[in-house]
Structure 1
Amino acid sequence: MQLKRWLVAGAVVIMAAAVAGAAPATASHPVDPAQQSLRTLGLRHNLYLGTAVDLAALNDSADPQYRATVAKEFSSVTAENAMKWAELEPTRGTYNWGPADELVAFAKRNNQKLRGHVLVWHNQLPAWLTDGVNDGSISTDELRDLLRKHITTVVKRYQGKIWQWDVVNEAVSDPWDNPPTLHYKGFWAQHLGPGYIADAFRWARAADPKALLFYNDYNIEAFGSGDPANDKTQFVYDMVRQLRRDGVPVDGVGSQGHLGTQYGNYSTLQVAAALKKFAGLGVATAFTEVDVRSQLTEGVQAGDSNEINPRLQASAANYSALLQACLADRHCLSYTVWGFTDKHSWVPGWFSDPPEGMATIMDENYQPKRAYFELKADLIYSGPPYVLPRIPQRPRR
């Protein structure tokens, strides 16, 4: 679907040849920060701006702009799918390392950090594993050993190359699930019990003593009621606190940041308060999968600016709220968008009833949206040298 008419007139992605972005400043030609890349602006704060990478798009010779944009705009990359178990080991005992290895090499060439995603998740598991458990040919003891072997094999292969690993992903239910009381959910909890979480972190630490190990989940951007029975953020907070008390090597908590403009959204203050509270546990934080989707009504699809513009503005506000909160907390190490162009977004394929989209910071033609410029503004105006102490004005005599 092409939604071109809602673009800001004249907005252009500046595709500079240099990976880091802008040309050197001189006294007569100072650098305009608005022309710098997200990665350059983020590194002023030692904050890594990242994106999930679609390996097929990265290798599409007919679309070189995708690869160029990943290299120019981002200081961190995450494999969108290439490091998930079903992709790495589609046949038992036979690994397909090619795509993941390619992203590792790409990141090294472009001086980018690498987030590993994901070691343990209940989705995108290989069929041989889930079928074996369902038909009884894989016992509980064997399943636990297979999980240990998978974590150890993958982490050791990329030892010293991965900055942050999403060790366990989405282990906690939602209040709208059945039963509504929050609980540990999914394939691994069902077959191994919640103890698999601590096991996974310990196995990952044994395989790589230096990688940062994260628990990653969605809908944990801000606290709600504070009741762990129905407040997912509180449940995750209590879980991480207990894991740390038990000596489990949890180094960070990743908040995915999948938001939607149709919901009541968080303020920067709410998000910053959550980050601060997690930091109090002694862990790092990161936004790991940020996107902000909108419902594609008939008016939106017809190009009605009365429906499109409010969605673009709300999307930008959501992106900005998360980034401002991250900038406000020194423990927030990275801010990763889950794809940067609507040309390669998971949202339309997943949210179809009603249809949703417009979730990224650039359109299908790599033209930046309002959200892209708001992220830049947040990075520019969050401190020196572009924000300095006020100059007092003296009364004229």
Structure 2
Amino acid sequence: MKLRRWIATGAVAVATVAALNVAPATAGRPYDPTTQSLGDLALRHGLYLGTAVDMDALNDASDPRYRQLAATEFSTVTAENVMKWESLEPTRGRYNWGPADEFVAFARKNHQRVRGHVLVWQNQLPGWLTSGVADGSISKAELRQILRDHITRVVTRYQGRIWQWDVVNEAVSDPWDTPSTLHYKGFWAQHLGPGYLADAFRWARAADPKALLFYNDYNIEAFGSGNPADDKTQFVYEMARDLRARGVPIDGVGSQGHLGTQYGNYSTFQVVDALKKFAGLGLATAFTEVDVRSQLTEAVRAGDSNEINPRLQAAAANFSVLLRACLAERHCLSFTLWGFTDRHSWVPDWFDNPPEGMATVYDENYRPKLAYQELKADLIYSGPPFVLPRVPQQPRR
């Protein structure tokens, strides 16, 4: 790196610290970066670090700590459920905007960017939609128009207030599905064919020219065999490449980052390689739903430290791998935890055979875990020449 590049990078760092309103260090009061929030530390790198927000927990007057941390620890937020279709339009033609509007207002009040989640997904759809298709009262042509109207109405309502939209979520199958060859799956592919993906991005772009439009999926943190028949990351890579080649306005790919300590961990280099390949298509990337769950064995539930400590250490390593990879690739714009406390985690309700949990960076009493401390250390001790400010993504037209 040339000397002038080092100087420019240093100027960016100084300007960023100034923007955070950090009190200058003095002999009697040295600057302590460990007192800064995850969100503020990430902004040193131009990275937005956020969380999913549970609106029920946010509004629970008996649990004020949740709201306090959601408001102060993060620089970007995602609605865990209130922007999904079944929540927004439980009755056909009648939108319940209240909780989503409240969420967006919360983010604005706390100067946080918003990831919109989600416009098109085969799950958490309203019953009137799925039953109407099942009984034939909603035709294919009408279904396509319903989807277009929903995307247009939602994106238009929040135009200018959403930084990134998850336009299409989890459209690709898994190798353990039937058939095992990877394919487009779910309600929308079944009834509209795979062309709905391109349509969804075009409709979203027409409704908001400035929001960044993402495809979002799980199990795409690293490449496997390289064969799109059984390597989901390769399938999504080729899908994104094809969409870009056809002029579809996709701006980024979100990797959810739902990991588990019972599985083999990725290396940071494997994840960086995947991020770089997507960046090579001209796409931004993001980690959108990061958590690391562990099996809750009888010994764990009994409080046996011999069982608990290895899981906490493995979880910290998994979180750290994903964050370091994101820091290393300048087109990785955001890193979002899917909830931040075990008190309000989706994991125990979803993974119950065998039971799993311990998936977030704070425990049930809001005490920071080792994972939290390692994320903070990664943000503090990363810098030039291998960690540089982000490259902003321009919305595709």
**TM-score, normalised on structure 1?**
0.91
Write the distance in 2 (CA, Å) between the matches of 1:183 and 1:247: 22
Question: Would the aligned equivalents of 1:21 and 1:36 in 2 still touch at CA under 8 Å?
Answer: no
1:11 equivalent in structure 2: none
1:257 equivalent in structure 2: 257
Write the distance in 2 (CA, Å) between the matches of 1:26 and 1:356: 44
Establish whether residue 357 from structure 1 lines up as the match of residue 363 from structure 2: no
Taking the TM superposition and a 5 Å limit, the aligned residue runs for 1:51-200 are 51-200=51-200
**Which amino acid letter does the alignment assign opposite residue 373 of structure 1?**
Q
2:217 equivalent in structure 1: 217
Shift of 1:26: 3.4
1:237 equivalent in structure 2: 237
CA offsets 1:248-277 (integer angstroms, 9 cap, x no match): 000000000000000011110000000000
Write the distance in 2 (CA, Å) between the matches of 1:349 and 1:213: 30
Taking the TM superposition and a 5 Å limit, the aligned residue runs for 1:291-330 are 291-330=291-330
Question: Would the aligned equivalents of 1:319 and 1:375 in 2 still touch at CA under 8 Å?
Answer: yes
**Which amino acid letter does the alignment assign opposite residue 374 of structure 1?**
E
Question: Would the aligned equivalents of 1:342 and 1:363 in 2 still touch at CA under 8 Å?
Answer: yes
Shift of 1:126: 0.1
Partner SS for 1:49: strand
Partner SS for 1:39: helix
Question: Using a 3 Å threshold, how does the CA distance of structure 1 residues 79 and 68 change in structure 2: closer, same or farther?
Answer: same
Partner SS for 1:30: coil
Question: Would the aligned equivalents of 1:22 and 1:31 in 2 still touch at CA under 8 Å?
Answer: no
Shift of 1:21: 8.7
Write the distance in 1 (CA, Å) between the matches of 2:199 and 2:100: 24
Write the distance in 2 (CA, Å) between the matches of 1:248 and 1:273: 24
Which structure is higher in helix share? 2
Question: Would the aligned equivalents of 1:171 and 1:184 in 2 still touch at CA under 8 Å?
Answer: yes
CA offsets 1:96-128 (integer angstroms, 9 cap, x no match): 101110111111111000000000000000000
Partner SS for 2:94: coil
Write the distance in 2 (CA, Å) between the matches of 1:383 and 1:23: 18
Write the distance in 1 (CA, Å) between the matches of 2:236 and 2:259: 18
Write the distance in 1 (CA, Å) between the matches of 2:90 and 2:76: 27
Q: How many residues align?
A: 367
Identity between Structure 1 and Structure 2 (%): 78
Write the distance in 1 (CA, Å) between the matches of 2:163 and 2:99: 18
**Which amino acid letter does the alignment assign opposite residue 192 of structure 1?**
L
Partner SS for 1:200: helix
2:42 equivalent in structure 1: 42
- Please provide the CA RMSD for this pair: 1.3
Partner SS for 1:171: coil
